[in-house]
């Protein structure tokens, strides 16, 4: 047993030294929530999920943890009746004591190990957390808390198994339209379109994926005087005249989890955080700066991840309705065949901008929760070699993320503007539909 403890302590020291899930927060209960979200991010990067699917993973993990622990906080209420189709959940035994931190850790581990791979990573964190928490209570309370969280996770697994994801994985290869002005596979990988059926997934707060629609893109035209052609000229001109600061900003917000590199006959991918993962980390930064409690942090993560998911749902519905050509394809054909954008174009249609949409959603939700003009230092990308950036508000960060897509050469201005507009609308909608605090 002593040898086992020595191994666990040594593992913990290595993980913290490598900043895998180290968290600096005054609230020692909130640290468990933050560290599990960091763990989810790390596993996601290892396994290369797509941005829309990533939002699904964050949501179910945080829903399980929230639903397993809110009972211990009288001002909070259940997700039941607020999320579309959300199942009736088990209730804690009346008059019995629970260790709510244990419920959180148990719920996270149960869902993470069901939805994600690399259980060795999550099991290591689980072992460390449970050793800490079990020492703070009796074996009876610890076991009761674990069992309750396991029951919550079980019901949640039954529910999310039918959300459309499994069905989509078995669909036939997507046949995209081949007309002029329509999306084509883009270099360097010329991959098939990513998640073309995501808009068929079950929404959380939206009536349907098409509840909030973007305005159509400019009418396709190869006439140099047309609005569509001029948008390509604008993207091309920006890309040719970027300042160092604009390049730094674009790379900071790249957030491409499936970037492909070619070297001779070899093809490989690099690991980066996703757009949703970047905003999950911003939520953590805000929670720690404002010293939010465990349940307050879970509230933020849960609402934010719901917004990310419904935002990708709406955005992907537009992308695969308009099937708009990407700038790199049009510019190569009609303006400059040797042009290369700063950022690698992801493999799905252009209109609207996903990063703009989910950034605006995230900023709106975090502003509603924590207030406007909350300045923060965003160190999300430090681990990838980019310096910390400072923002005066969440909306300030969202706007920078959006314009970075134009500077990076992967989106038209209209796609970003519409992403911002729809994103703010969905963010407000989520906050109206889900009230986690008792009034």
Q: How far apart are CA 406 and CA 267, in angstroms?
A: 27
> Which pLDDT score, from 0 to 100, does residue 8 have?
41
* Integer Cα distance of 300 and 104 in angstroms: 15
pLDDT average, residue stretch 32-56: 95
* Per-residue confidence (pLDDT) for residue 158, from 0 to 100: 97
Q: What is the mean pLDDT of residues 117-136?
A: 95
DSSP for residue 29: T
| pLDDT score of 2 more than 90 | no
Query: Given this model, what pLDDT does residue 26 score?
Result: 54
When mean pLDDT is compared over 117-121, 189-193, 281-285, the highest value belongs to 281-285
Average pLDDT, integer, range 62-75: 98
Inform me whether the pLDDT recorded for 45 exceeds 80.
yes
Q: Does residue 16 have a pLDDT over 70?
A: no
**Is the pLDDT reported for residue 107 higher than 50?**
yes
**Residue 270 DSSP code:** E
Segment 83-88 shows an average pLDDT of 96
Average pLDDT for 307-332 = 98
Window from 193-207, 247-261, 390-404 with minimum mean pLDDT: 247-261
Segment (H or E) for 58: helix 51-69
Whether omega for the bond prior to residue 246 falls within 30 degrees of 0, making it cis, is no
* For residues 59-67, average pLDDT: 98
Distance CA 214, CA 231 (A): 17
Q: Is the pLDDT of residue 422 over 70?
A: yes
Mean pLDDT of the region 423-433: 98
What pTM was computed for the model? 0.93
Closest of 249, 290, 255, 219 to residue 396, by C-alpha:
249
Q: What band does 262 get if pLDDT is binned at 50, 70 and 90?
A: low
Segment 221-246, tens digit of pLDDT: 999 999 999 999 999 999 999 999 99
Q: How far is CA 362 from the centre of its chain?
A: 9
- Average pLDDT of the chain is 93
- Cα dist from 158 to 60, 67, 89, 117, 149, whole Å: 12, 15, 11, 19, 14
Q: Could you tell me the two tokens for 4?
A: 């086992």
In the chain, CATH 1.10.606.20 covers 2-165, 177-433
Strand, helix or coil at 69?
Answer: helix
Using an 8 Å Cβ cutoff, are 337 and 403 in contact? no
Domain 2-165 has CATH 3.30.465.10: no
- What is the fold, at CATH topology level, of the domain defined by 177-433? Vanadium-containing Chloroperoxidase; domain 2 (1.10.606)
């Amino acid at each position: 047993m002593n040898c086992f403890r020595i191994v666990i302590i040594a593992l913990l020291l290595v993980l913290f030294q490598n900043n895998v899930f180290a968290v600096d927060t005054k609230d020692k209960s909130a640290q468990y929530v933050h560290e599990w979200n960091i763990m989810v991010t790390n596993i996601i990067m290892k396994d290369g999920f797509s941005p829309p699917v990533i939002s699904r993973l964050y949501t179910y993990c945080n829903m399980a943890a929230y639903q397993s622990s809110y009972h211990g906080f009288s001002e909070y209420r259940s997700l039941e009746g607020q999320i579309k189709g959300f199942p009736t959940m088990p209730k804690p035994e009346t008059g019995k004591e629970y260790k709510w931190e244990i419920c959180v850790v148990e719920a996270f581990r149960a869902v993470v190990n069901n939805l994600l791979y690399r259980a060795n990573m999550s099991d290591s964190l689980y072992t460390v957390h449970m050793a800490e928490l079990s020492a703070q209570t009796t074996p009876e309370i610890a076991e009761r808390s674990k069992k309750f969280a396991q029951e919550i996770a079980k019901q949640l697994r039954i529910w999310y198994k039918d959300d459309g994801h499994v069905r989509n994985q078995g669909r036939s290869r997507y046949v995209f339209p081949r007309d002029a002005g329509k999306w084509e596979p883009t270099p360097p990988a010329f991959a098939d379109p990513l998640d073309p059926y995501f808009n068929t997934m079950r929404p959380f707060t939206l009536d349907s994926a098409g509840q909030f629609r973007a305005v159509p893109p400019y009418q396709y035209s190869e006439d140099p005087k047309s609005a569509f052609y001029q948008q390509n000229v604008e993207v091309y001109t920006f890309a040719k005249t970027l300042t160092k600061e604009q390049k730094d900003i674009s790379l900071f917000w790249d957030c491409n989890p499936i970037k492909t590199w070619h070297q001779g006959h070899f093809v490989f991918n690099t690991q980066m955080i996703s757009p949703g993962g970047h905003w999950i980390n911003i939520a953590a930064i805000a929670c720690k700066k404002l010293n939010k409690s465990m349940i307050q942090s879970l509230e933020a993560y849960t609402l934010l991840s719901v917004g990310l998911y419904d935002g990708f749902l709406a955005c992907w519905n537009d992308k695969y309705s308009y099937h708009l050509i990407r700038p790199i394809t049009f510019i190569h054909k009609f303006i400059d065949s040797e042009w290369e954008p700063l950022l690698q174009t992801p493999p799905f249609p252009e209109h609207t901008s996903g990063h703009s949409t989910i950034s605006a959603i995230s900023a709106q939700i975090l502003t509603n929760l924590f207030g406007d003009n909350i300045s923060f230092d965003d160190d999300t990308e430090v681990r990838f070699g980019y310096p910390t950036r400072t923002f005066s508000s969440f909306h300030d960060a969202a706007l920078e993320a959006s314009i970075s897509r134009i500077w990076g050469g992967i989106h038209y201005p209209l796609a970003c503007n519409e992403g911002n507009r729809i994103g703010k609308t969905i963010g407000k909608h989520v906050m109206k539909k889900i009230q986690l605090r008792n009034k």
